[in-house]
Structures are given as C-alpha cells and as structure tokens.
Amino acid sequence: MAKQFTALDDTHRAFIERQKIFFVASAAPAGRVNLSPKGMDSLRVFSPNRVAYLDLTGSGNETSAHVEACGRLTMMFCAFDGAPMIMRLYGRGSILRGGTTEYEALLPHFVEIFGARQIVQLDIETVQTSCGYAVPLFEHREDRPNLVRWAENKGVEGLKAYREEKNVRSIDGLPTGWTAA
C-alpha cells in the first residue's frame, strides 16, 4: 500500500498545506527518540525537496539536539478529514537559529508568531505515502492560544532566560546548539 517518491509533487504539496497538525520525529545515535506535534500554520514547502517550520520556544529542544548529533529527521502528516492518507518525509535536518542570515532570509515566509526561536529545515530524501485507513476523523476547531500567551507573558528577556535554562541541552544531555547570544 505504501508508495515512495524522491520528491514532493503538486498533490503532496496540496495535502501538506491542508493539514492543521504535523509530527516531527528525531533521534541521535543513542538515547531517546523524540516525537513532537506541531501546528499553528508554522510549516512551509519551499521546493519539491525542502520544507521548513518555524519552531517555537518549548519545554525542551530535542529536535535541535538530534539534528546537531546526526541530522536525521522525519515529518509525518495524517489526514484527519477527507480522504485517508499518511505522508512521511524522510531526510536531513538543519537548524536555522534566530539572528542568522539563513533564518532572516526564510522568516518573511512565515506568519509572525511571538516566541519563535529557530527554523527547522528538512532536505527531503524520500516521500512515502500510505493508506491511513485506521486514522480517525477529527474536526479542527481552532489553534490553541496558550503557547503564544505564555511566551508573551515571559517577554523577550524572560524567553531568553528560559531558553538558557531549558533549551541548551536535550533530556539525554546532548548539546542543542542553542547559545545565550
């Protein structure tokens, strides 16, 4: 049932753009596997072999640590309405840190979300689709405002301090590449 492709086509791109949630999986050579849900209109398709998402400050920075350690990254999209389908994007990740030339070049493509810390980019090696027949149907009501409110309440300096405390190392102690600068 699964089909593999070397790049996204127009049908794949349209499917991705309709999704309200996607999942990011990463792992270093040893330690825990990380799987995180993402949403809030944070993902963009830049080419048939490149996607990126605006990464918001969170309780950890596992994806960054894993990408720094070995680069492997997978994104998964599930159809929760309409025709069933699951799509996985396999490839190599890179982290574009806030304040860098690469980050600033891509930032205008995203909706501004307070609390953004970096852009996670995926260079796609394989696209895989499968049936998704067992994925339940859900209706999207709205995005939760909680994370943005939390970040706004922290403010710029509070977010900086939080990142220095919580985002410098992974739960396995790996460096995330995050610095106070």
Could you read off the pLDDT of 139-171 as tens digits, one per residue? 999 999 999 999 999 999 999 999 999 999 999
- Indicate whether 128 belongs to any domain: yes
pLDDT digits (tens, 9 = 90+) for 11-42: 999 999 999 999 999 999 999 999 999 999 99
Burial class (CB in 10 A: 0-12, 13-18, 19+), 73: buried
The per-residue pLDDT for 180 is: 58
Q: Is residue 178 part of a domain?
A: no
In a domain, 106, yes or no: yes
CATH of residue 120: 2.30.110.10
% of the chain surpassing 70 pLDDT? 99
Nearest to 122 by CA among 95, 153, 102: 95
Prediction pTM value: 0.95
**Within-domain flag for 87:** yes
Structural domains counted in the chain = 1
